Amino acid sequence: MMEIAKLVPKEPKGLVVVITGHGKGKTTTAFGLAVRACGHDMRVCIIQFMKGDLYSGEWDGVKKMNCAIELHTTGKGFCGIQGNPYPHSEHRQNAQDAAALAREKTMSGNYDLLILDEINNALHLKLVDLEQVVGLIAKKPPLLHLVLTGRDAHPQIIELADTVSEVVEIKHAYRKGIEPQPGIDY
C-alpha cells in the first residue's frame, strides 16, 4: 500500500473562518471541518448558539465518532421564526451563556478547533453584541482555529476573518413544500 504524505505548515497559524450566506449547509460545512480535524487528532469544541430545541442528527453522530469532539447545544431554537415560543430576552440570556462558554473554551488551551455555530445569526438578532464576538476573535490563542457560522455575518467579522465562504441558495426542497428530511436537513 502506498504511503500518503501529510503536509505540515512551516508556520502554523490558527485561522478565523466564517461560513455565512442564505443557502443550506453552513453547519454541515462546519461539522465537516470537525471530521477533518478529527482525522488529524485535533481537539474540537462546538457550541451551537441557536440550536437545541429540536433534535438534529449531528448530536448523536458526534457521540458515535471516536474523536475528541465536545458539543454544547445551548439554544432554544431560532428566535422569532417558525412559531418559536420563547421571548427575545430568553434567547438573549441563552446566547449570553453561550458567549461566556465560548470565552471559557477559547482561553482554556484545551482545543485546536472551536466552532461557534449560528453565532452570526445571534449577532444579527442582537442576542450577542459585536464587541463580544470581536473580543473572542482578538483574544483567541494564536494556534486555535475559530469557525463562526450563520447567516448575515457582520461586515466587521468578515473583515477580521482569514477565510470567508458564502453558501448561496440556488434551490431548496422546502420551497417546493417538501418537509425537512433526516440526515440531510437535521
Q: Is residue 61 part of a domain?
A: yes
172 within some domain: no
The whole domain housing 31 covers: 16-166
Q: Which sign does the torsion angle of CA 138, 120, 79, 50 carry?
A: negative
Q: Is residue 54 part of a domain?
A: yes
Residue 146 lies in a domain: yes
Residue 185 lies in a domain: no
User: What's the pLDDT at 82?
Assistant: 65
pTM of the model: 0.92
Q: How many domains does the chain have?
A: 1
137 falls within a domain: yes
pLDDT in tens, the chain (186 residues): 778 888 889 999 999 999 999 999 999 999 999 999 999 999 999 999 987 777 788 889 998 988 999 999 988 777 766 677 788 899 999 999 999 999 999 999 999 999 999 999 999 999 999 999 999 999 999 999 999 999 999 999 999 999 999 999 999 998 999 998 988 888
CATH number of 84's domain: 3.40.50.300
Which residues are CB-neighbours of 40 under 8 A, at least 6 positions away? none
Distance, CA of 181 to CA of 12 (rounded, Å):
39
